[in-house]
Structure 1
C-alpha cells in the first residue's frame, strides 16, 4: 500500500535508545494512521558499529511498517537524512531523530496544521530548551544569530531538523545538486508556504549525543559557506580595512619624517606585520573553504552509498550501486530499454 506518511529517522549507534524509540513511536503512528492513512518508517542506519543493525532487523520483523535502509559507511547526519528523503515514498515526510528529545506526538499536530492552513512545510520549534546545557543553548542562539546576520532571515527561531514536508518540497530538495547541504537552511530557502508547531525539548532518553563540538563546528562552517557569501564579503572588507590602515600609517610616517619626529620602533613594526599577516591568513582561509566546496561539487562524488534496503530485499554484493547513491548522469531515463549485448562474432 502506498504510504500517506513517511517518517525518516537517521540513526548512528542508537542501540541504547532504539527500543524506547520504537515503543513510543509506533503507537503514535498507529493512531495517526486511523486519520491520515498508511505510513512507513524509513530508519536510515548510518554505518552503526554497535547493535543498531541487529535491533532494526528484529523490529522490522515485528513491525511491518518499519523499513530499514543501511548505508555502507558513516556519512554524517545530514547525508543520512538525505538518503531517507530519497527513499521515502509518502505524500508527507517527517524527519525525526531517534534520541526522543523531539517528541513523536508532535507529528499529529503537524499534520493537523497542514489540513488547517494548507502549507507545505511545518517546522517543529523548540519553545522550551531547559533540558539542554547552557553551552548548547548559547551556541544554538549564536548560530541562528550569525545565520540571520548573513541573510538567512527565513529560518524559524529554535527550529532544527524536526519538520514535516510535502511531497513537492521533498522532490525539490532531492533535485538539488549541491553536496554537504544543511537541510535546516535549505528547506526554508526554497520559500514554500510554512507554519510552525512548538514543543518542549526533552532530555535524551538513553545513550550519548552523536554531535560533539567538532561536528557542531563543521555543521556551522557548512551552513555559513553553503548558504551565504557574507564571509567572502567580510574578507573583502578586511582587505579594504587593511588598505586604509596602510595609507593612514604611510601618511603618518611621511608627516613624522618631515617634522623630524621619527623614532626607529621595533614593536610597532612587528605589530603591523603581524596584524596584516593575520588578516591575510584569515582571508585565505575563507577563500579556501569556498574553493573546497567548489572542488567537492565538481568531483560529483555521492555523499552516501546504500548497502541495503529492506523494501527491495537482502543485499546483493554483485549488484550495481543503488540509484539513490549513483550520480544522476549515470541513471538511465525512466522507461528506457537497455540495449542488448552484441552477438558473438562468427568464425
Structure 2
C-alpha cells in the first residue's frame, strides 16, 4: 500500500461512465490484487460525467480505500478523452489503463508489471488471445479493423490489443505532450515506437451493466483512427479522380469513333449511368476531404476535449481553461498545481 506523500510506483487509470452495477465487483477484484503487489499505487477512477450512482459509490469507496483517487469530468467526453484525463493526472512510474467492465481481467496487471521490469520495455500490451465471449460480428470486425489500420497507416499495432496496457512514465509523458485532439490511444501508443512486449489473456464476459461502445461509436472510432493516422484515403480519392478522368477520355474516344463511323450514339441510359458514376466518385472524394478538413478545423479551434470538475486529491475547484500555448493538454483543468 502507498503511504501519504510517498512516491507512486503504479497508477491504474479506469475510465467510468454509468458503471454503478459493475463498480462493486471491480473493487472486489482490483483492491486485493493492487494491495498484493506490495508497491505504492493509486487507482485513478475517471468519472466521465456519469448520470447514475457511480459518483456517489466512488466517494463512499474512498472513505475506506485511501489509494482510490476520483477525477470527475463536468460532462460526458468520451472513452478516449476520459483515458487522456487520467493519463494527465496519473503520478506513477508505470501507468495501466483498463476498463471497468471486467472483460479485461485486472489480475493480468501483475504480469504486465513483471514483464516491464524484467524486459526493460516501455509498453506492455494486453492481447486478447481468446475472444470467444464476444459475438462473431465483433470478433471479425475487430480483426478486420486492426489489420486495415496496420496496412493503411503502417503502424505495428498488435492485433486484438485494445486499451488495456501498461506504460512507463516516459511513454505517458510523451503522450501528454502530443498536441493532437480526438486521439485514439490504441494507435497513438504503438506509433511512438517505444520498446514493447505483450501479455496474452482470455477476454471475459462483461460482469454487469451494458456496453458503452455501440456500433455508432465503433464506427466513429474507426473513422478517427483512419483519418488520424493515414493519408491513404486522400490518395485513394486522387486515384479515383484519375480513374474517372481516364473513363471520361474513353467515353470521348468512343463518341468520336462512333461519329466517324456513322453509328448512333448511346441513348440517355448510358448518359445517366456515366453522370451518376462520376457524381458518386466526386461525392466520395469530397466526403474524404471533409473528414480531414474537419480534423484540421477542430485542431485550429483547440477546444479542450474534456473539463475536469473535481479531483479528490486536490479538492473541488472550478475548472479554468489552460493557456493556448499548451494545446497538448487537451483539457480545461483546475489551476491548482498537480503533485
TM-score (norm 1): 0.91
> Helix, strand or coil for the counterpart of 2:325?
helix
Q: Distance in 1 between matches of 2:179 and 2:266?
A: 57
Question: 2:306 corresponds to which residue?
Answer: 304
Q: CA deviation at 1:327?
A: 4.1
Alignment of 1:1-347 (within 5 A): 1-32=6-37, 34=38, 37-313=39-315, 315-316=316-317, 319=318, 321=320, 326-327=322-323, 329=325
Bigger radius of gyration: 1
> Helix, strand or coil for the counterpart of 1:177?
coil
Question: 2:330 corresponds to which residue?
Answer: none
Q: CA deviation at 1:152?
A: 3.2
Q: Any conservation in 2 of the 1:14–1:52 contact (CA below 8 Å)? A: yes
> Helix, strand or coil for the counterpart of 1:94?
strand
Question: Are residues 234 and 85 of structure 1, via their aligned partners in 2, closer, same or farther at CA, if it must alter by over 3 Å?
Answer: same
Q: Any conservation in 1 of the 2:259–2:265 contact (CA below 8 Å)? A: no
Q: Distance in 2 between matches of 1:236 and 1:327?
A: 39
Q: Distance in 1 between matches of 2:319 and 2:190?
A: 35
Q: Any conservation in 2 of the 1:92–1:164 contact (CA below 8 Å)? A: yes
Q: Any conservation in 2 of the 1:44–1:68 contact (CA below 8 Å)? A: yes
Unaligned runs of 5+ in 2: 1-5, 328-339
Q: Distance in 2 between matches of 1:278 and 1:80?
A: 38
> Helix, strand or coil for the counterpart of 1:157?
coil
> Helix, strand or coil for the counterpart of 2:164?
strand
Q: CA deviation at 1:151?
A: 2.5
**Residues 94-129 of structure 1: CA deviation (Å, up to 9, x unaligned):** 000000000001001001111221100000000000
Q: Distance in 2 between matches of 1:122 and 1:151?
A: 21
TM-score (norm 2): 0.93
Q: Any conservation in 1 of the 2:237–2:288 contact (CA below 8 Å)? A: yes
> Helix, strand or coil for the counterpart of 1:163?
strand
Q: Any conservation in 2 of the 1:125–1:198 contact (CA below 8 Å)? A: yes
**Number of equivalent positions:** 322
Q: Distance in 2 between matches of 1:95 and 1:330?
A: 24
Q: CA deviation at 1:329?
A: 2.2
Which of structure 1's runs of 4+ aligned residues deviate more than 6 A? none
Q: Distance in 2 between matches of 1:206 and 1:278?
A: 45
> Helix, strand or coil for the counterpart of 2:305?
coil
Unaligned runs of 5+ in 1: 332-347
Q: CA deviation at 1:263?
A: 3.3
RMSD: 1.2
Q: Any conservation in 2 of the 1:301–1:327 contact (CA below 8 Å)? A: no
Q: Distance in 2 between matches of 1:183 and 1:328?
A: 22
Q: Distance in 1 between matches of 2:87 and 2:216?
A: 26
Q: Distance in 2 between matches of 1:5 and 1:287?
A: 42
